[in-house]
Structures are given as C-alpha cells and as structure tokens.
Amino acid sequence: MDKIRILGNHDLQLKGKVKISGAKNAVLPAIAASLLTREKIRLKNVPLVKDVFTILTLMKELGAEYHIKKNSLSVQIKKIRFEEASYELVRAMRASILVLGPLLARHGKAVVALPGGCAIGSRPIDLHIHGLEKLGALINLEHGYIQAEARRLHGKEIEFDKKTVGGTENLVMAASLAQGETILKNCSLEPEVANLCELLVKMGAKIDGIGQETIQIKGVEELGGATHEIIPDRIEAGTFLVAGALTRGNFTLSHMQPDHLDTVIEKLRYSGAKIERLNNHTLRVIGSPQIRPQDVTTSPYPGFPTDMQAQFIVLMTQAGGRSIITETIFDRRFSHINELLRLGASVEVFGDKAIVKGKTLLSGAETIAIDLRASASLVLAGLIASGETIINEVEHLDRGYEKIEEKLKSLGAPIQRIKDEEKG
Ligand code: EPZ
C-alpha cells in the first residue's frame, strides 16, 4: 500500500493556486441514478477518486458499460444483467447502498449486502429500508443481505425520523419511477442531494422542492439519458481552506462553490484566517499567525459538516487556548485523535466531545489512517509538524481526494507519495 511522506515544519507557508475537483458525494449517487434508464448518462467534472472506480466496478457487474475520458464519464445500462451488490463491494464502499433504490425501481429486484459498521460508526440503513417498504417494496434481511422485491413501487408520503443523505437520495431515485406521487419530509439539504435531483429532472423526473426539506416526486413510466455537471467538492475545498489557515498560507482555490461552505468559512474567519471571495468560483485564503480557539458542533447541512470535523480539530491544536468540538452525526468519528496524539496534540475525548488544548507544536511521526477524513487530518497535521511524518495506507485518502499530494506540492508543501514496492 502506498504511503505519504511529509517533511513538515512549523513555519510552512503554502502559496499559489489549487483547482478543486468534482464532489465524490455528488458523483456516486449520480452514477447510481444511471440504473434508472436504459439510455446513456454523461457526467462532467467527475473526480477520479477510488470510490468512483469502486462504484463503476459494481455498475459493470450489474450490466453497465462505461467510458472515462479525463474527468468526463459516460455510463449506460441497456439491460440489468445482475441484481446483486456483493458484500466485498459494499464493504469496500458503503455508498454502494445507493444502488438499492434505483435497482428496485427499474428492475423490481435487488440483493444488496448490508453495509455493516465502519470506522466512523454503526451507520445503519433502517431509514432506507423503511422508506422503500412504504413505497411497496418487500424486503427481507437474511444472511447479511437485503433481499428486496417490488413489482411496481407506488407513491407515498414519508417522513424521515432523522436527516439521512443516502436515505434521501435512495428514496428520491426510487420514487422517480414509482406509480403516483411521493412526498418526502425531513429530507437532507446537502448540495449533493440537490445536484442528484437536478440530474433526475434532466432525465425526465418530475421533482418539486429541490434543495428543500420537503420534496415532491411524481413518478413517471420511464426516464431518459442526460448530460450533467457534478458540483465541486465542498469538503475538498474546506480541507484546503484549513490547510491555508494552518500554514499562514496565501493561495487561491478555483472551480469551487463558496456558498456551499458558509458555515466553514464563518468558523475559519472567526479563527483568524482571511477568506476573500474573488468571484463566484474562486476564494483566496490567507492564514493568520494567531489562531483563535472556538467551539464547533457538527450538524446536517447547512450546519458545520461532520466531514470537516477531523480537519478542524487539527486547526484547533494550533489555536491559543481550549476548543470543544462536538460530533453529533456519527457515534464514533474520533479515530483520528489517537494518531494526532502521537504527533504531540493535546486532545481529550469525552463521549461526543473532543476537548482540544492549543497551541501545541506538533512533531512528525509514523501514522496510519483508517478513514477518509482522518487521513486528511493527518496530512494537515504533517504539514505543520516538525520533521518527518509518514502516513500509511493512503488508499483511504485516495477514496475521496484526487491527487491531493500533487495539489499540495504545487502549493509548496514538502510532500511525496511513496509507491508500494509490491505494486511496482
Ligand atoms: C453521507 O453519508 C456522506 N457520504 C458522508 O460522507 C457524510 O458524512 C454523511 O452523508 C453526512 O450525513 C456520501 O454521500 C457517499 P447519513 P450517509 O445517512 O448517507 C444515521 C465522507 O467522508 N442513519 O446522512 O451514509 C447514520 O448512522 C462520507 O465523504 C441511520 O440511523 O450518511 C448517521 O448517524 C463519510 N439510519 C446519520 O444518520 C439510516 O438508515 C447520518 O447518516 C441512515 C443513516
């Protein structure tokens, strides 16, 4: 497995410009949506990250043909050849669950492995299953698989007990081909959900309330092909903004969508970073030598994203004082803290809270990453830790960040990837 090596220092200053890639969490449901039609779906601004190739492997097993050229992808399933998403694939990527709704809607049958737990918590899928049952699906859970059948789904009013991004996406896709009208209440407001709805409308779906908590879908007989642009990755952009705030950097981020990051920008400005909007798709970040501590609580969009929690903790290790970071979305999303402690951070965890004491000068060490955003936080910490930091098992990082070490290197970071000798 590849490693990343960083020769960080306390005075590193990142400068230059970085181009933000398309959003992993928008392209995955968009690829799953191609199951809903026998025509071709063309996606632009696709990030070439590991999770994209994982879901394309699954789609190929289901009968898809696809073609990638640079950051454009075309995918087409003329006929569903197979209806099972194996445990091996679902274990590799929980978002495989997003094929459940579209498979049921188009093909009437789906067998999807239960995702099980992962590094950031239990992550059940009860809300997906209850929602699909309300649309008329017959679902059995046995031998670690979801066995689902539905001759024809029918519209229903459904209210989610809690906000679920994947649950909202699965139900919107399933309802698009159901008979009659579906009203979904307490939907997630994440921009990736709206981006998916916009694709479905281009395919012929009848959806009102895009970007709202209540979404109405009038089912249609069939959906057609479409061409669609994937929105920029707000979490990649947020990660680079933190890198700028951490390193007293001065650089621009282009091809992004600043208004998807209001809460993160607000918190970073409060911490002392200067963030200037150069135009609708470009920000400049200028880090400050003094970083102000502050308490942050993660919450569903438009609140502070849980996917930015690990990165923000690293920033607070450099703040002059104590910060309390509360994680309300996942029940075990502090795995990065043990590794940060090895770099010299001072963080204590009490339940859903991490108490961060700053400023602590970090020193480089060998570390291991066990989930995507935890890996990102180790890279950030390595930039400002004195000496060498090695991050093992970077395939976690590669799941959601396109060429992150090349992008950081172009900003002046002393970072390199060490290829796994076995792979050659
Ligand atoms: C999406 O995961 C994102 N992944 C996650 O990003 C992100 O952290 C999360 O939304 C934020 O809510 C993708 O979009 C591919 P949820 P998802 O359903 O859909 C509970 C990253 O790093 N829940 O919104 O799986 C669940 O346990 C990843 O890019 C149920 O209880 O998350 C969690 O506590 C990590 N029952 C909360 O809801 C269900 O049926 C939010 O989960 C579904 C979810």
CA dihedral 141, 146, 150, 155 (to 10 degrees): 90
Answer for the pair 227, 42: CB distance below 8 angstroms, yes or no.
Answer: yes
In the predicted model, what is the mean pLDDT of residues 63-70? 97
- State the residue for tokens 């951070």: 345
DSSP conformation letters of 52-81: HHHHHHHHHHHT-EEEEETTEEEEE-SS--
Strands 72-76 and 65-69: antiparallel
Residue 118 DSSP class: B
pLDDT exceeds cutoff 90 at 31:
yes
**Among protein residues, the one whose CA lies closest to atom 38 of ligand 1:** 164
In the predicted model, what is the mean pLDDT of residues 199-208? 98
- For residues 342 and 355, what is the distance between their CA atoms, to the nearest angstrom? 16
Query: Tokens standing for 394?
Result: 């970077």
Q: How many angstroms does the Cα of residue 251 sit away from the middle of ligand 1?
A: 31
Q: How many angstroms does the Cα of residue 113 sit away from the middle of ligand 1?
A: 17
Q: What is the pLDDT of residue 10?
A: 86
In the predicted model, what is the mean pLDDT of residues 396-410? 96
- What is the value of pTM for the model shown? 0.97
Q: How many angstroms does the Cα of residue 57 sit away from the middle of ligand 1?
A: 22
- State the residue for tokens 């600043």: 258
Helix orientation angle between 100-107 and 126-134, rounded to the nearest 10 degrees: 20
Q: How many angstroms does the Cα of residue 112 sit away from the middle of ligand 1?
A: 17
Pocket around ligand 1: residues whose beta carbon is below 6 Å from it? 24-25, 28, 94-95, 121, 123-128, 162, 164-167, 188, 192, 306-307, 329-330, 372-373, 400
Helix (H) or strand (E) holding 297: strand 296-297
* Percent share of the chain, pLDDT over 90: 89
**Among protein residues, the one whose CA lies closest to atom 12 of ligand 1:** 165
**Among protein residues, the one whose CA lies closest to atom 14 of ligand 1:** 25
pLDDT exceeds cutoff 50 at 117:
yes
Q: Best substitution site from 329, 335, 352 to test ligand 1's pocket, by max atoms within 8 Å of Cβ?
A: 329
Ligand 1 atom closest to 162 (CA): 38
Q: Is the peptide bond before 305 cis (omega within 30 degrees of 0)?
A: no
Which tens digit of pLDDT belongs to each residue from 69-97?
A: 999 999 999 999 988 888 888 888 999 99
**Among protein residues, the one whose CA lies closest to atom 28 of ligand 1:** 307
**Among protein residues, the one whose CA lies closest to atom 18 of ligand 1:** 164
Ligand 1 atom closest to 169 (CA): 19
Ligand 1 atom closest to 306 (CA): 8
In the predicted model, what is the mean pLDDT of residues 48-64? 96
- For residues 201 and 410, what is the distance between their CA atoms, to the nearest angstrom? 38
Which tens digit of pLDDT belongs to each residue from 347-400?
A: 999 999 999 999 999 999 999 988 899 999 999 999 999 999 999 989 899 999
Catalytic residues: 118
Answer for the pair 208, 278: CB distance below 8 angstroms, yes or no.
Answer: no
**Of 98, 257, 66, 273, nearest in space to 171 by CA:** 98
pLDDT exceeds cutoff 60 at 104:
yes
In the predicted model, what is the mean pLDDT of residues 59-70? 96
Which tens digit of pLDDT belongs to each residue from 246-270?
A: 998 999 999 999 999 999 999 999 9
Q: What is the pLDDT of residue 303?
A: 98
Q: What is the pLDDT of residue 88?
A: 87
Ligand 1 atom closest to 123 (CA): 27
Q: What is the pLDDT of residue 118?
A: 66
- For residues 338 and 119, what is the distance between their CA atoms, to the nearest angstrom? 13
Q: What is the pLDDT of residue 194?
A: 98
Average pLDDT, the chain: 95
Q: What is the pLDDT of residue 424?
A: 46
- For residues 379 and 5, what is the distance between their CA atoms, to the nearest angstrom? 9
Query: Tokens standing for 120?
Result: 């950031």
Q: What is the pLDDT of residue 423?
A: 53
Q: How many angstroms does the Cα of residue 421 sit away from the middle of ligand 1?
A: 35
Q: Which residues contact 350 (CB under 8 A, 6 or more apart)?
A: none
Q: What is the pLDDT of residue 85?
A: 87
Which tens digit of pLDDT belongs to each residue from 307-346?
A: 999 999 999 999 999 999 999 999 889 989 999 999 999 9
**Of 81, 82, 84, 85, nearest in space to 94 by CA:** 85
- For residues 85 and 73, what is the distance between their CA atoms, to the nearest angstrom? 21
Helix (H) or strand (E) holding 322: strand 322-326
Q: Three-state SS for 161?
A: coil
- For residues 239 and 339, what is the distance between their CA atoms, to the nearest angstrom? 18
Answer for the pair 379, 397: CB distance below 8 angstroms, yes or no.
Answer: yes
Q: How many angstroms does the Cα of residue 117 sit away from the middle of ligand 1?
A: 12
**Among protein residues, the one whose CA lies closest to atom 10 of ligand 1:** 165
- Torsion sign (Cα): 205, 29, 252, 322: positive
Ligand 1 atom closest to 129 (CA): 40
Q: Best substitution site from 93, 134, 165, 404 to test ligand 1's pocket, by max atoms within 8 Å of Cβ?
A: 165
Q: How many angstroms does the Cα of residue 193 sit away from the middle of ligand 1?
A: 12
In the predicted model, what is the mean pLDDT of residues 178-190? 98
